[in-house]
Amino acid sequence: MSDRRPQPRLRAPQLLLAAALAVAAPWAWAQEGGDSERDWNVRGGVVAMSDYVWRGVSQTQEDPALQAEINLEHRSGFYAGAWVSSIDFTAPGEDSDGVHYELDGYLGWSGELRPGLELDVVLTRAAYPGAKRDFDYDYTELEGTLSFAEHYHVGLAYSPDIFGLGGKGYYWNVGGKWPLGESGFGLKAQVGYYDLQDPLGDSYNDYLLALTREFGPFHAELQYTTTSSYGPKISEGLDDKKLADDKLAVLVGWTF
């Protein structure tokens, strides 16, 4: 999603260029360094979905979306990458904002604090290329997630100026994922609370429940999402309430 601008800020091309330089230099060094090659891993993938739902709200007017991601990870836990998704914020009959995709660059660290307890911290810059003059959706967000007891996680994300609305946003979430025996299927659940009191004077909750299945490098997911307390202030400041109602979506992806 989006933001206006904390100062100073990196625009997405600058952040992606910085990430690319940070990635390219050690990668080139690793290619020359023999044993150092295994210090680095390149990962990525593509996902097709019937609806791109983010924090309980459709980002595509309930239409399908295509996403792709690539990142470079070091064995120390540091990583950098880029992610892109098709989006559509313009409802039928409204003037177009000129935005058709979201492009995120991110830098982070993930590692084990002690046995059974892992921390992931990531700084993301989300950009919306092509936005018309009056639409400033770009935002920066810092997110931390603690994973514990093998299946559970808690997280907090903070943006200093969320969605171009001129105020701070906080997103708390707690959830987990569990294998369903030896079937290859899994269950995933999450509850989130989006505090938008600063820019909008209101907040809302979102819920996710999903059935997952992995087939080697492929994975599929059937997810149900909904929200509560999505009042008039949120609907006016973000998206229409119907985009945050009960939804079923199917996701199919490939990773490498």
SS (H, E, C) 95-116: CCCCCCEEEEEEEEEEEEEECC
Statement: 12-255 belongs to CATH 3.30.450.20? no
31-58, pLDDT tens digit by residue?
445 455 579 999 999 999 999 999 999 9
Q: At residue 214, does pLDDT exceed 60? A: yes
Q: At residue 91, does pLDDT exceed 50? A: yes
Residue 18: pLDDT band (50, 70, 90) is very low
Q: What mean pLDDT do residues 179-191 have?
A: 96
Which one has a higher pLDDT value, 139 or 133?
139
Quote the pLDDT of residue 164. Answer: 81
Q: What mean pLDDT do residues 233-238 have?
A: 90
Closest listed residue to residue 55, CA positions, set 237, 243, 254: 243
Q: At residue 60, does pLDDT exceed 90? A: yes
Query: What residue type is 65 in one-letter code?
Result: A
- Asked if 88 and 94 touch (Cβ cutoff 8 Å), the reply is no
Domain ranges of the chain: 12-255
Q: At residue 69, does pLDDT exceed 50? A: yes
Quote the pLDDT of residue 100. Answer: 96
How much is the mean pLDDT over the chain? 88
Which of helix, strand or coil describes residue 17? helix
